[in-house]
A and B are shown apart, each in its own frame.
Chain A
Amino acid sequence: MVFNSLTFIAFFAIVLGIHSLPLAWNIRKINLLIASYIFYSAWNPPFVILLWISTVVDWYAAQGLVRAQRPVARRAWMLLSVVANLGMLGYFKYGGFLLANFTALLASFGVVYHAPAPDIVLPVGISFYTFATMSYTLDVYLRRALPARNFLDYALFVTFFPHLVAGPIMRPTELVPQFEQPRRASRQQLFFGLALMTIGMFNKVVLADGFLAHVAETVYDTDKIPGALDAWMGTLAFSGQIFCDFAGYSTIAIGVAMCLGFAMPDNFRFPYAAIGFSDFWRRWHITLSSWLRDYLYIPLGGNRHGPRRTYAALMGTMLLGGLWHGANWTFVAWGGLHGIYLSVERWLRKRFAGFRPNAWTLIAFGLITYALVNVTWVFFRAKTFSRAWTMLRGMAGTNAKAVPLLGTESLVVVTAIITGLVITHWLMRNRTLESVLARSPAAVLSCTWAVMAFAIIATQGNGNAFIYFQF
């Protein structure tokens, strides 16, 4: 079930009530586990089986890793986990994509092959929970952590509903220890958790779905040719939509966990105030970028084997990171573009190591970073390369026969929201939300909370899925 639904409100109220009962800690954990399976099966009950497979395989792989003495055996257990998880991911997420590309490849050699339509349904959240379970086995393999002491704690780590379908991608060392001691939220945690849920919901329901989504759809999901204004506004709208959608989800997840007495890590840190792309990736989808860094970039060699290997590892990581987002070459292009940005930035940092920019230069770099990030969003949002090029030509102002696509109201709303968003990110660049809330007058907090809650209800979101569910 999605967070922004009546079903979730009822579900969460029940879970919260049961979790607050004076029951034994093990019973409360079992309740949370059952609730998490209900949460997941509320989409499509049979797919719970995949979740179980991923859970059980990694549990036994980690146990095998501990028992194994020889490196070959340890590697075999690790590979079992990786192959099982990536195999499931590959089949369900990339099966159709691989088949289509195989068919196209044969066709390029003149071989006509009509593959049967695979008609594979993507299980929601599979990209997230396979990464979470793999991090468990890989941490044990890399001797960073011991396996969980009991299966219940481990199964709850994999399945815990706040992070299950769209992250933050939790590491076992972040969550399993929290299940070892009884936890119940204090009143302060409960109320602040609800405040975070409201903030996240406002981002998702009001800003992303209510005001920005249809602008991006109007510009991207049409055959009409956009001019510079429409192309930029549609892309800026999408930049706001995807941030508000995904950061909104993460904030709700953190709030939900907090209401139950658990802590989850930050997933976003005001990314549109990033200065440079390495800074951007320390602020955007932090749990994914750090996962890719720890389990892909560093094993590929990282920066320890000379510049050539470093750039190759960087590009490989970002290309695969792009593919993780979706089975389409446009996502690979998105990742590749970020890989190029990171590589160029790395080269420039070495070439101009002594350069010390002043404040205005930093702001200019920040704006350039945001503009270039928007260029990458074109490939992320466009369904085809053809549309992506049309959009880029539009953004460059070189589209002939462009027609106006967005009305004044859309232009004004997008300008207001994106300006507000970017300014907020800059103001919050070196702060946390909590540090600002600690200093704000109580009346301002109450009024802001009320306005957000009213806007959420008055917007009447229709339970749109979060964008990252499709990944």
Chain B
Amino acid sequence: MPSSTSSFESASSDLVVERSASAEARIASRPGLRQTAADRPGQAQPVPERDIPDRRWGAIMFAALVMTLMMLGAWEWRWRSFGVEPSIANSDALWATQRRRIDNGEGDGATVLIGSSRMLFDLQLPVWQKLSGQRPIQLALEGTSPMFALEDLADDPNFKNGRLLVGVAPDLFFSGFAFRGGVLKYTLKQSPSQRVGQWLSMHFVEPFLAFDDPDYALPTVIERQDWWPVRSGMHPRKKVRKLMVVTAPDRASHIWDKLEKDPAYAALAQSIWAQHLAPSPDDPPPRQLQRTIGQQISRAATAVSKLRRRNVQVIFVRTPSTSGYLVAEDKMFPRAKTWDVLLAKTGAPGVHFQDHPELQGLWLPEWSHLAERDAVRFTEALYAIIERDVEHRAPASPVARADAQTSKPE
């Protein structure tokens, strides 16, 4: 019997022998080729031989390394000169670290924030902490309805005796649109390797590289160039640009100051919102939209009811928007058919920015998110409103509220 170190000369078939011979002849006539398992049917495969091209690989690699560093330096300089600074990546892994806090002992009595980008940028964690003595757990996600998080928290017994602020951006909350809807699945399936990768990224990459941001990934940059003509029959919508900066590992964030300082960039962001909010052939018909709104509210009511049983106070917060954004929201998701019904059906209290003078007159550079300074004002005012008007109020019966449904704001 042959040893394991040698191939066994198999006599399997005529075809095999014929093929082996022809393969050897073919390869002998082409000096660049080497045999593979495809050329050796029906036999033990020998130890592969890999030739190393006879070059000065050390010198070649050194030169490549220097050039790579130079190119990366130029790339970094280009984005820093655009106004980008190194910051913490708002990744799924970062969200997962915050979500796990609830399961790791912080869920009892915690204040948790869910919602979309407005809740993420507008509510300032340090300000809230200063006022309440408690730093909230930030679970809001840009471009994403908080419904999945609301239901997830409702089903999590580790979250109890606390407070849940639910940001309501009508076009997301009532449509159920979830740009980052896969984050929960990611969290549940996050592997040890991904956890280590997140730690390495946060400590060795993100603090140093400004270009490490999905907005400045090479394919994205190429795709967003203006030189591409629009294909006939297409009405492409520009993708939302970078709007935020994460300032702390617990996802404390604020609007990117470029939107405050660079009118052209703010105008670009506004034009993108206008494009996204304009009627489109892909929009659902009104009846279907109304059905979707009803489903979202119904899901919210079920979740709120579960949370209430664990002594979690749920407060809906309609965060500010203005100009073209507000007009479009009011048109597609009128308050009487959305916000008011939501409060009535859930029986939960709500704070609508239009009902409180102290939540108005704020600057939203691109119509949807507050300037950093005004986000501080907003947080202070919102905290005061909740403490004054909501905190000590007994929750209304959802049934009674539904019966008394009215288009008037609370």
> What is A's interface to B at a CB cutoff of 8 Å?
1-2, 5-8, 10, 41-45, 139, 142-149, 171-178, 180, 187-189, 191-192, 194-195, 206, 210-211, 254, 258, 263-266, 269, 281-283, 286-287, 289-291, 293-294, 298, 302-304, 403-404, 406-409, 411-413, 430-432, 434-438, 442-443, 445-447, 449-451, 453-455, 457-460, 462-463
CB–CB B49/A263 < 8 A: yes
The verdict on A454 contacting B68 (CB below 8 Å), with A173-B46, A265-B48 known, is yes
Determine if B71 and A450 form an interchain contact, defined as CB atoms under 8 angstroms apart.
Answer: yes
Q: How far is the CB of B322 from chain A (nearest CB, A)?
A: 31
Residue of B nearest to A149 (CB): B4
15 additional contacts (CB under 8 A) given A189-B52, A194-B61, A269-B38: A142-B10, A173-B47, A195-B60, A282-B36, A289-B38, A290-B45, A404-B233, A407-B231, A431-B30, A434-B53, A436-B32, A443-B63, A450-B71, A453-B64, A460-B217
Q: Does B266 contact A (CB under 8 A)?
A: no
Residues of A contacting B225 in the complex (Cβ-Cβ under 8 angstroms) = 409
A10-B200, A408-B231, A437-B53 known; A144-B193 Cβ under 8 A: no
CB atoms of A434 and B52 under 8 A apart: yes
B205 cross-chain contacts in A, Cβ below 8 A: 6
Q: Does B234 make an interface contact (CB < 8 A)?
A: yes
The stretch from B11-19, B170-178, B330-338 touching chain A is: B11-19
Docked pose: A302 CA to B16 CA in angstroms: 10
Q: CA A380 – CA B384 in complex, angstroms?
A: 58
By beta carbon, the residue of chain A nearest B63 is: A446
Asked whether B44 lies within 8 Å of A210 as measured between CB atoms, the reply is: no
Q: Smallest Cβ distance from A370 to chain B, in angstroms? A: 19
Interface residues on B, range: 35 or more
The CA-CA distance from A171 to B45 in the complex, in Å, is 7
Q: 29 pairs across A/B with beta carbons < 8 Å?
A: A7-B196, A10-B196, A42-B196, A43-B193, A144-B8, A171-B44, A173-B6, A188-B52, A191-B57, A191-B58, A210-B217, A210-B218, A210-B219, A258-B50, A265-B45, A266-B36, A269-B36, A281-B38, A290-B40, A430-B33, A434-B53, A438-B53, A443-B63, A446-B67, A447-B64, A449-B61, A450-B68, A457-B72, A458-B217
Q: How distant is the Cα of A265 from the Cα of B39 in the complex, in angstroms? A: 12
- Decide yes or no whether B363 CB sits under 8 A from chain A: no
A146 with B15: CB separation less than 8 A: no
B403 beta carbon closer than 8 Å to chain A: no
A108, B317: Cα distance in complex, Å = 52
Other-chain residue from B2, B49, B200 in contact with A7 (beta carbon distance below 8 A)? B200
Q: For the complex, is B228 an interface residue (Cβ under 8 Å from A)?
A: yes
State the Cβ distance, B282 to closest chain A Cβ, in Å: 9
Q: Is the CB of B41 within 8 A of A293?
A: yes
* Residues of B227-282 whose CB lies within 8 A of A: 228-234, 236
CA of A442 to CA of B55 in the docked complex: distance in angstroms?
8
Q: Do the beta carbons of B1 and A143 come within 8 Å of each other? A: yes
Find out whether the CB atom of B37 lies under 8 angstroms from the CB atom of A290: yes
**CB pair B197 A5 closer than 8 Å:** yes
Report Cα–Cα, A228/B205, bound state, in Å. 43
Indicate whether A447 sits within 8 Å of B53 (C-beta atoms), given known contacts A10-B200, A264-B48, A287-B37: no
Q: Which 7 A/B pairs are nearest by Cβ-Cβ distance?
A: A450-B67, A191-B57, A435-B32, A42-B193, A290-B37, A1-B193, A449-B64
Inter-chain contact A403/B233, CB cutoff 8 Å: yes
A450 to B73, CA, bound (A): 13
Instruction: List, in ascending order, chain A residues with CB within 8 A of B41's CB.
Output: 290, 293-294, 298
**Is B214 an interface residue when CB atoms closer than 8 A count as contact?**
yes
Known A-B contacts A206-B218, A265-B36, A404-B232; the reply to A437 vs B197 at CB < 8 A is: no
Residue on B nearest A454 in the bound complex, by CB: B71
A449 x B50 contact (CB < 8 A): no
Residues of B within 8 A of A194 (CB): 61
B47, A177: Cβ atoms closer than 8 Å:
yes
Verify A42–B61 contact, CB threshold 8 A: no
Q: Are B233 and A178 in contact (CB under 8 A)?
A: no
Q: What is the distance, in angstroms, from B357's C-beta to the closest C-beta of chain A?
A: 44
**CB pair A459 B219 closer than 8 Å:** yes
B13 CB contacts on chain A under 8 angstroms:
298, 302-304
Q: A425 CB to closest chain B CB, in angstroms? A: 14
CB contact under 8 A between A174 and B48, given known A302-B15, A438-B53: yes
Contact B48 A404 (CB under 8 A): no
Partner of B53, one of A174, A192, A431, A455: A192
**A265-B45, A442-B55, A458-B211 known; A145-B67 Cβ under 8 A:** no
**A-contacting residues, B188-228, CB 8 Å:** 191-194, 196-197, 200-201, 204-205, 211-214, 216-219, 222-223, 225, 228
- Residues of the A chain whose Cβ atoms lie less than 8 Å from the Cβ of B14: 304
Is there contact, CB below 8 Å, between B36 and A191? no
* Closest residue of B by beta carbon distance from A157: B4
Contact A432 B32 (CB under 8 A): yes
> Chain A: which residue is nearest B212 at the CB level?
A460
When distances are taken between beta carbons in the complex, the residues of chain B under 8 Å from A189 are 52
A173-B47, A453-B68 given; A430·B30 CB < 8 A: yes
Please tell me if B104 contacts chain A, counting CB pairs below 8 Å.
Answer: no
Q: Which of A8, A43, A192, A258 has the most CB of B within 10 A?
A: A192
Which residues 103-159 of B sit at the A interface, judged by CB distance below 8 A?
Answer: none
In the bound assembly, the distance between CA atoms of A191 and B214 in angstroms comes to 31
Q: Which residues from B are CB-within-8-Å of A144?
A: 2, 7-8, 10, 43-44
Given contacts A41-B192, A432-B33, contact A178 B61 (CB under 8 A): no
Q: Is the CB of A146 within 8 A of B1?
A: yes
> Is B288 close to A, CB under 8 A?
no
With known contacts A302-B15, A459-B219, A146–B2 Cβ distance under 8 A: yes
Measured in the bound complex, the distance between the Cα atoms of B194 and A211 in whole Å is: 23
Residues of A near B61 (CB, < 8 A) are: 191, 194-195, 446, 449
CA distance A42 to B32 in the complex (A): 39
* Residue B59 lies at the interface, judged by CB distance under 8 Å to chain A: yes
In angstroms, Cα B222 to Cα A412, docked, is: 11
Which residues does chain B contribute within 8 Å of A206, judged by CB atoms? 218-219
Q: Does B401 interact with chain A (Cβ within 8 Å)?
A: no
Q: Which of B282-308 contact A (CB under 8 A)?
A: none
Q: Give the distance in Å from the alpha carbon of A439 to the alpha carbon of B365 in the complex.
A: 58
Q: Considering the complex, give the chain A residue whose CB is closest to the CB of B223.
A: A409
Shortest Cβ distance from B126 into chain A, in angstroms?
A: 29
